[in-house]
Amino acid sequence: MTTPRWPRALALLSVLTALALAPTAPAAAQSSEWTTDFGPLVLTVRDGDRVTGVYPSYNGRIEATLNRRDSALEGFWLQPSSEIRCDQARDGTHSWGLVSWSLRQGGTLQGQWSYCGNPPGSAGVWNGTFVSGTHPMDTGREQARVKPQAPAPTPAPVPPQHASGGNPGEPRPDAMEVARFLWGQYADPSRLKVLRADITCDARADLVLVYLDLDSPDGPSLSVAVRETGATLEQIPATYLDFDTGTFASLCGPGQMVDVSVVGDLAPERVLDLTGFSSPPACRVGLRLDDGMCDSVWVFTMPGQDRLTDLIIGRN
């Protein structure tokens, strides 16, 4: 790792998973924010014990496993660059290493890290303090969601340039099925925008939902979800953008719906400039969110593990 620096834009936000009836799995991806030795860190628990994360001061991301018995996290950190270059690449980068954290009582994160495959601790410590969100050890304790009905038939493929915004007052049934699964049974269709476009670069139309959540006690947020053709409800990735917090994924304003557009065939250099990721693997079609006050926020997709899709955030 190198001296902390804020990128123009980056966040790898995790695939949203929900195992509705499994008592040890979260009903939806649940995130926590930490202040650490290497700047802000966001950890997201999904698939029960799988954890992904992002630490934007280094354009970095985390792939780890939660050990609930020992209150520990073990996995990898990955960055576009670092002081030491590993001989063997991992997930497309030669800048990676091991990380091991203990989740202590009182909201502290006690950890060690290394370069490449060396033992954790050989490069130093990585400690942090809990700030907000759902603590990893508290995930999976929510009441089970209402079991969703079988997924609706997948939409017919359409070219990206034919993507259309749905009428917020009359979203199609398959869109409301996703909305209720992700945002609750009483998701308000008047705060939902629906588009259909290929933003995963697989030549098939994706169902894109943008939802303004005004019901959370943590304040308003804007959610973006992408359902690929053939994906189950549990495989839908979603990301959550807050308002006026000054973070890397924050919108401006009091909390209102934004203008949404699909921008296709971006140059690989443009995608790299916006997100810090090369294209490929990142798709060259982006979802642009304009609040009319600050820089535009972009949402891109890239392949994740097990052929699922990850969402990454960019800014102008």
User: Has residue 77 got a pLDDT over 70?
Assistant: yes
Q: How confident is the model at residue 308 (pLDDT cuts 50, 70, 90)?
A: low
Task: Show the tokens assigned to 148.
Answer: 């969703």
Q: What are phi and psi of 191, to 5 degrees?
A: -110, 25
pLDDT of residue 173: 64
Average pLDDT over residues 78-85: 89
Domain assignments of the chain as residue spans, ordered by start: 11-138, 160-315
Residue 8 reports pLDDT greater than 50: no
Mean per-residue pLDDT over the chain, rounded:
76
- For 82, the token pair is 């670092």
Q: Which residue has 């009091």 as its token pair?
A: 254
298 contact partners, CB below 8 Å, separation of at least 6: 9, 274, 275, 286, 287, 288, 289, 313, 314, 315, 316
Kindly indicate the confidence band of residue 127, based on its pLDDT and cuts at 50, 70 and 90. very high
More confident residue, 307 or 197: 197
Between these two residues, 187 and 142, which has the higher pLDDT value?
187
Looking at per-residue pLDDT, the higher value among 115 and 17 belongs to 115
For the residues 64-76, what does the mean pLDDT come to?
Answer: 92
* Token pair listed for 40: 């802000």
3-state secondary structure of 305: helix
Average pLDDT estimate for 21-36: 60
pLDDT of 73 above 90: yes
pLDDT at 71 over 70: yes
Structure tokens that stand for 54 in this block: 């992002």
Distance CA 55, CA 77 (A): 9
* Amino acid in the structure at residue 225: A
pLDDT top residue among 166 and 254:
254
Q: What is the mean pLDDT of residues 143-154?
A: 37
Fold of 11-138: Porin (2.40.160)
> What does pTM read for this prediction?
0.52
Residue 47 confidence (pLDDT): 66
Cβ–Cβ under 8 Å, residues 278 and 300: no
Of 157 and 312, the structure prediction assigns the larger pLDDT to 312
